[in-house]
Structure 1
Amino acid sequence: MRRYKAMLFDLDDTLLDRNQAVDNIFHIMLEKCYGNVEDTLKAEMLRKFKEYDNRGYGVSDKTAVFQSFFDEFPPVYRLQEPQEFWNEQFPQCFSISEHTANLLKAIQENMKIAIITNGTIHRQKAKILNTGLHEYFDVILISEEVGLEKPDPRIFQLALNKLQVQPEDALFVGDNLEKDVGGPQGTGLKGIWFNPDGVENDSDIKPDEEIQSLDELLHYLTPKQFT
């Protein structure tokens, strides 16, 4: 197998479980704004909260998410500054497992490693710092900070320049076919689709590889590197 010199990662829904984080911020909001809620209603509220969140996924201002939710489920206490609540609480709702940390250490020991993420500086940096991910990466690019966002080929090239690696010597791993597979492929990187839920690919984008667990990335390390 080809010996690669760098592995680049998406952040949300690849290294970090955003769905679990939304669960966490929902329960913080529930306790703050509603108090005790019956379990059946709580499950329906969570489903609707995630529905509203997904409509606004990628949008910096989450005010509309909370307004829509509160209109449907009138709270005891209504957040006066929902965006401020989101900015303060959401980054705290992420975590990485010891297993993921050990996986990243193994990769970092054998090749250069980077994150490229779309999003705001405040939120993405907070997630990275709070989870300790910054300890494992040589380069971290946040779209708002560099003025470019995936799938723009220039953001991938910027990361490669900082890593001092050629495109053909690098892999990109992410969950979004357009941004994390098609984008990197257009720059000459190998695009690996992280698809833990086995979603059907109904696009024209063809990943170089599809994986359901980040552990599968270990085969890009040579047998000698495992020891």
Structure 2
Amino acid sequence: MNTPKYTHIFFDLDHTIWDFDKNAEEALLELYVLHRLHDIGLTSADAFIETYTQNNHRLWREYHVGNITKETLRAARFKQTFLDLGVHPDAIPNGFEDAYVKLCPTKTNLFPNAHETLAYLQSKYTLHLISNGFKESQDIKIGNTGIGKYFTHVIISEIVGANKPDKAIFEYAINLAGVTREECLMIGDSLEADVLGALNFGMDAIYFNPFNAPKPDEVPVQIMNLKELITLL
């Protein structure tokens, strides 16, 4: 990579720095016990978490591209999970979504080497976050994990009014930073929202691929551990 031209690096938050799935699993295990889900027929916490994860990822993909709203995502992900697992609609626990939204963002698991990598990069570049997550949750995640000190700007899609991969949010980000797209690099886990969104905007991108998913040919650079950025950049 022709790294000397970069002055600003934009990171995704969920699934890139903040380990969404690990934090969600911790929260769901607590809520499984608290809401006595075993008593309504959910005998496997693992099956509950796996089904929720599939539904949540699917709905977030729909949200990224503007097919559903925040309200639809939050209303559907647990309702669909309970229904998929055979729970009668009348037996779905009241307030489960609200309890999850309050608990999950308080979890503090980051991907390995996050602090070390961000501290190194901050010494060489100006760092920012661009997130499609919801502001109230992202503020808690950033505060509880102590990563806010690394970032000059935190750009949240629902505040901007456009989600990644929409070019409008990348345009907003570089204007806020006062730089050109050629000076910037985007790093994220979502091929569609982060990587292809940035590349289509004209900004270079690195694919964070910790689970070694297939990499499309049009994606030039990938990493599997954040620490690789110390060597690359």
TM range, normalised to the smaller chain?
0.7 to 0.9
Q: CA deviation at 1:102?
A: 1.9
Superposed CA offset, 1:97-121 (max 9, x none) = 6831121011111111011011222
Seen in structure 2, the aligned counterparts of structure 1 residues 186 and 35 have a Cα distance that, compared at 3 Å, is closer
Residue 170 in 1 paired to residue 184 in 2? Answer: yes
CA distance in 1, matches of 2:112, 2:81: 35
- Judged with a 3 Å threshold, the aligned counterparts in structure 2 of structure 1 residues 98 and 206 are, in CA distance, closer, same or farther, namely closer
8 Å contact kept, 2:112–2:225:
no
1:182 and 1:12 map into 2 onto residues whose CA distance is 17
CA shift, 1:94, in A, is 3.6
CA–CA distance in 2 between the matches of 1:211 and 1:106? 16
Runs of 4+, deviation exceeding 6 Å: none
C-alpha deviations, 1:48-101, integer Å up to 9, x for none? 2323333333463433332233443659x8532233212211211243368311
Distance in 1 separating the partners of 2:206 and 2:109 = 23
Following the alignment from structure 2 to structure 1, what is the Cα–Cα distance between the partners of residues 215 and 197?
16
Q: How does the TM-score come out when normalised to structure 2?
A: 0.82
Tell me which residue corresponds to 1:65: 77
Partner residue in 2 for 1:149: 163
SS at match of 1:56: helix
- What per-residue deviation string (whole Å, max 9, x for no partner) do you get for residues 1-34 of structure 1? 4312111111111111111022112111111112
Letter in 1 for 2:205: G
* Secondary structure of the structure 2 residue equivalent to 1:201: coil
**Matched letter for residue 196 of structure 1:** P
- Which one-letter code corresponds to 1:212 in the other structure? M
Q: Among 195, 220, 223, which residue is 1:208 paired with?
A: 220
- Contact 2:31/2:100 (8 A) holds in 1: no
Matches within 5 A, 1:87-166: 87-96=101-110, 99-166=113-180
RMSD: 2.7
Runs of at least 5 residues in structure 1 that lack an aligned partner in the other structure: 222-227
- Given that residues 188 and 195 in structure 2 are in contact (C-alpha distance below 8 angstroms), is that contact kept between their aligned partners in structure 1? yes
Give the aligned length.
Answer: 218
1:160 deviates by 1.6
Unaligned 5+ segments in structure 2 are 64-68
